[in-house]
């Protein structure tokens, strides 16, 4: 019966249209995560290499949560450029989460983005998973899940259009540029990208790593928008000629941001591992229940809230999230600070939240 339900869900998924834009798209996130593994020290690299398939596949999990209806959208960006944050480098926005909430209110932060604080939360989850690994190898599936989940958010921070309130060019006549830049260019021209990531070093302040990446990304927004305008020539036709021109004009930006994302992703994984006392990870491959179905799901078209029933969505979320040794791993929004409390184990119904605002 369970196999029949999964088959029916996969059939529904296959009929659904393309996914909403997500930083770097499926191909980009997986590329960054795979290359980041190569930068890990020997004590980690063997374990991550043994579990490369699962780790790379789960680099897009946070985007699947968004499509499933979780309120995860604000965790993927920070809208620099809004009046409230002032001028670059936006010192009007406190980096300390409590101070930012006190100054602007939770509604405003959800509107303009929570990426650095979400990154810090998932860094804490990964660190605790490494700490648990010192006590038992059964914690390995948690490491396999939280490493790519944390990596996803810092990778988003390296995408220029995730660091601006003009995130889709809607304020400058560049509508639709978000997906054209982050997804289409990589899918079309991945073989022509030359990525030279720097050597990774341990990063132990994820919040500031997030802010640093976002500020660097913001400085490249104008260049991406200019390249889009020049490539389109005022037309609304995005054909092969347009993409060739757009890629030529943005190749250096793509290579810089992707290479930096690879290095920083690896650096944060190393930082969490070192803070946990450098536990021995071993070289065993650990499966996460339903992982084969998850890979099939991730390689299919995105499912949509408007195309699946509530029960189908619930089942899909349960499968996509994966399970740890303690049951469904809770990655839903909780506290947002540098050292979140240990995650409470809640039911799926308790963890479901409002739809994304954007």
What string of pLDDT tens digits covers the 358 residues of the chain? 444 343 444 334 333 333 445 679 999 999 999 999 999 999 899 999 999 999 999 999 999 998 888 889 999 999 999 999 999 999 999 999 999 999 999 999 999 999 999 999 999 999 999 999 999 988 999 999 999 999 999 999 999 999 999 999 999 999 999 999 999 999 999 999 999 999 999 999 999 999 999 999 999 999 999 999 999 999 999 999 999 999 999 999 999 999 999 999 999 999 999 999 999 987 766 665 544 444 444 444 433 333 333 334 434 444 444 433 333 334 443 333 333 333 333 333 333 333 333 3
Please name the residue that has the structure tokens 């990531």.
197
Peptide bond before residue 335 is cis, with ω within 30 degrees of 0: no
Contact yes or no for 322/103 (Cβ under 8 A): no
Could you tell me which of 215, 214, 200 has the C-alpha nearest to residue 265?
200
Task: Round to whole Å and give the CA distance between 219 and 199.
Answer: 23
Q: Please give the C-alpha separations between residue 12 and each of 62, 103, 157, 348, in angstroms, as whole numbers.
A: 21, 45, 32, 22
pLDDT for the residue 242: 98
Tokens at 216, concatenated: 């660097």
Domain coordinates of the chain in residue numbers? Answer: 2-78+113-331
Domain 2-78+113-331 belongs in CATH node 1.10.575.10: yes
Name 324's bridge partners: 327
Contacts of 271 (CB under 8 A, 6+ apart): 123, 202, 203, 204, 206
Largest CA distance in the chain: 61
Contacts of 213 (CB under 8 A, 6+ apart): 154, 157, 158, 260, 261, 264
Helices (H), the chain: 2-14, 25-37, 42-50, 52-57, 61-68, 97-104, 106-112, 115-135, 140-157, 177-179, 185-189, 206-218, 221-232, 240-275, 291-298, 310-321, 348-351
**Is residue 327 helix, strand or coil?**
strand
Backbone angles phi, psi at 357, to 5 degrees: -80, -15
pLDDT for the residue 66: 84
Query: How far is C-alpha 332 from the geometric centre of its chain's CA atoms?
Result: 14
Q: What is the DSSP letter of 346?
A: -
Q: How many helices (H) and strands (E) does the chain have?
A: 17, 2
For 335, other C-beta atoms within 10 Å of its C-beta total: 14
**Is residue 37 helix, strand or coil?**
helix
Task: Round to whole Å and give the CA distance between 224 and 147.
Answer: 29
pLDDT for the residue 16: 39
């Amino acid at each position: 019966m369970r196999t029949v339900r999964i088959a029916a869900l996969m059939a529904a998924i296959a009929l659904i249209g393309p996914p909403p834009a997500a930083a770097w798209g499926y191909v980009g996130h997986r590329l960054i995560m795979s290359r980041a593994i190569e930068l890990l020290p020997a004590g980690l690299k063997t374990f991550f290499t043994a579990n490369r398939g699962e780790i790379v596949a789960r680099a897009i999990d946070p985007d699947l949560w968004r499509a499933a209806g979780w309120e995860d959208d604000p965790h993927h960006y920070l809208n620099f450029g809004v009046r409230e944050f002032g001028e670059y480098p936006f010192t009007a926005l406190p980096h300390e989460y409590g101070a930012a909430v006190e100054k602007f209110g939770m509604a405003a932060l959800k509107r303009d983005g929570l990426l650095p604080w979400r990154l810090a939360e998932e860094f804490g989850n990964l660190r605790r998973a490494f700490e648990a690994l010192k006590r038992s190898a059964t914690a390995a599936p948690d490491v396999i899940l939280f490493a790519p989940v944390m990596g996803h958010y810092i990778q988003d921070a390296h995408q220029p259009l995730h660091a601006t309130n003009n995130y889709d060019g809607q304020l400058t006549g560049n509508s639709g540029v978000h997906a054209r830049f982050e997804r289409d260019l990589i899918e079309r021209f991945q073989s022509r990208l030359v990525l030279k990531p720097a050597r990774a070093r341990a990063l132990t302040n994820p919040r500031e790593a997030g802010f640093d990446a976002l500020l660097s990304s913001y400085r490249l927004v104008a260049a991406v928008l200019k390249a889009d305008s020049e490539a389109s020539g005022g037309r609304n036709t995005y054909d092969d000629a347009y993409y060739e021109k757009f890629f030529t004009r943005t190749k250096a930006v793509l290579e810089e941001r992707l290479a930096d994302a690879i290095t920083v992703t690896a650096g944060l994984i190393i930082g969490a591992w070192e803070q946990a006392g450098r536990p021995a990870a071993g070289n065993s491959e650990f499966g996460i229940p339903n992982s084969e179905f998850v890979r099939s799901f991730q390689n299919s078209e995105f499912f949509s809230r408007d195309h699946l029933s509530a029960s189908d969505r619930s089942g899909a979320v349960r499968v996509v999230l994966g399970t740890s040794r303690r049951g469904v791993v809770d990655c839903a929004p909780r506290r947002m600070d540098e050292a979140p409390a240990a995650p409470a184990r809640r039911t799926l119904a308790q963890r479901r939240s409002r739809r994304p605002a954007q």
